[in-house]
Amino acid sequence: MSTAGDSRAITPPDIRARKGGVPLVCLTAYTTPIARLVDRHCDIVLVGDSVGMVLHGLPSTLGVTLDMMIMHAKAVRGGLEKALMVVDLPFGSYEESPEQAFRNAARLMAETGCAAVKLEGGEAMAATIQFLGARGIPVMAHIGLTPQAVNAFGGYRVQGRGEDAERIRRDAISVAQAGAFSVVLEKVPEQLARRITSEIGIPTIGIGASPACDGQILVSDDMLGLFSPFRPKFVKRYAELGDQAGAATAAYADEVRKRRFPAAEHVFADAPKDADADATGSGGAA
């Protein structure tokens, strides 16, 4: 498990100090097995509110609750040893006031052991970021395309093109000045990402924001080919595990229907031949 008290675990100040260095590697995780898989390769593991769309089949991240984030973050914590665990504050849990944000961020930290939270918004969230930072809660900011504002944006469009660039630039400067230890830049043009990265003193972590950023983040299920309803242009699939899982399921169904599974090696005799094999019990993972 990764917490600030664990000397092997990466901390928010470690991330902050990586500005301009070897790019930061970040992925999402929502479960213990995926957390175990990505931990050794990542600097940051984000328990993102994308969990709502990816695991719960919701149409957007707006229906994700604090209780859902806590449940998934507890699962992820059990699979981490090294990476910094950051947990998203979901829609409606922090925007009302710095006090509301503190109350819910403190609950996330106390119940999950996470060492930092992420929230969406730039200039409008600067006072909240400062309030949390002053009370011991490290904040990763998220600007550009902020999915919780999908209705205000009218879709998941690229942000900060043309004259709109100045708005995103101001957001980046505000969250850095407010004390965020890093900022996610989502779906913004390369020139803008490059400019922001050179102008602010905290690491920029890009998702659809070019290699100019100080690090990259992707949703693990996108990168592994496990999420198929849509594929944004910025996603590179490093595997097609969804296709493999589909083929494995078809093979299982075929063998069951033809009585080829279970085969002799999966069947128990009346008198145990091998005490250990029988002692593994009925659990599939035993």
Return the active site residues: 186
Of 48-56, 125-133, 231-239, 249-257, the segment contacting ligand KIV by CB under 6 A is 48-56
Of 135 and 160, nearer to ligand KIV (C-beta) is 160
In whole angstroms, the minimum distance from the beta carbon of 191 to ligand KIV comes to 21
Q: How many chain residues touch ligand KIV (CB under 6 A)?
A: 11
Of 46-54, 165-173, 174-182, 191-199, the segment contacting ligand KIV by CB under 6 A is 46-54
Cβ contact 145:157 at 8 Å: yes
**DSSP code, position 82:** S
Of 41-49, 101-109, 124-132, 276-284, the segment contacting ligand KIV by CB under 6 A is 41-49
Cβ contact 39:80 at 8 Å: yes
Residue closest to ligand KIV, measured at CB: 48
Rounded to a whole number of angstroms, the distance between the first and last alpha carbons of the chain is 23
Cα of 197 vs its chain's centroid, Å: 21
What does the block give as tokens for 212? 């100019």
Site for ligand KIV in 183-212 (CB under 6 A): 184, 207
Among 39, 43, 88, 171, binds ligand KIV (CB under 6 A): 88
Among 49, 171, 214, 221, binds ligand KIV (CB under 6 A): 49
Beta-bridge partners for 84:
44
Cα 212 to Cα 20: distance, rounded to the nearest angstrom: 10
Cα 156 to Cα 232: distance, rounded to the nearest angstrom: 10
Which of 110, 126, 116, 123 is closest to 89 using CA atoms?
116
Cα of 8 vs its chain's centroid, Å: 21
In whole angstroms, the minimum distance from the beta carbon of 36 to ligand KIV comes to 18
Of 134 and 226, nearer to ligand KIV (C-beta) is 226
In whole angstroms, the minimum distance from the beta carbon of 129 to ligand KIV comes to 16
In whole angstroms, the minimum distance from the beta carbon of 5 to ligand KIV comes to 26
The CA-atom distances, in angstroms, between 286 and each of 112, 132, 249, 271, 283 are: 27, 44, 21, 21, 5
Of 45-53, 100-108, 233-241, 244-252, the segment contacting ligand KIV by CB under 6 A is 45-53
Cα 23 to Cα 205: distance, rounded to the nearest angstrom: 9
Q: Give the number of other Cβ atoms within 10 Å of residue 38's Cβ.
A: 22
Cβ contact 205:218 at 8 Å: no
In whole angstroms, the minimum distance from the beta carbon of 165 to ligand KIV comes to 20
Cα 203 to Cα 21: distance, rounded to the nearest angstrom: 9
Among 9, 35, 48, 76, binds ligand KIV (CB under 6 A): 48
In whole angstroms, the minimum distance from the beta carbon of 260 to ligand KIV comes to 41
39 interacts with ligand KIV by CB under 6 A: no
Judged by the rule CB under 6 A, the positions of this chain that interact with ligand KIV are 28, 46, 48-50, 88, 142, 184, 207, 217, 219
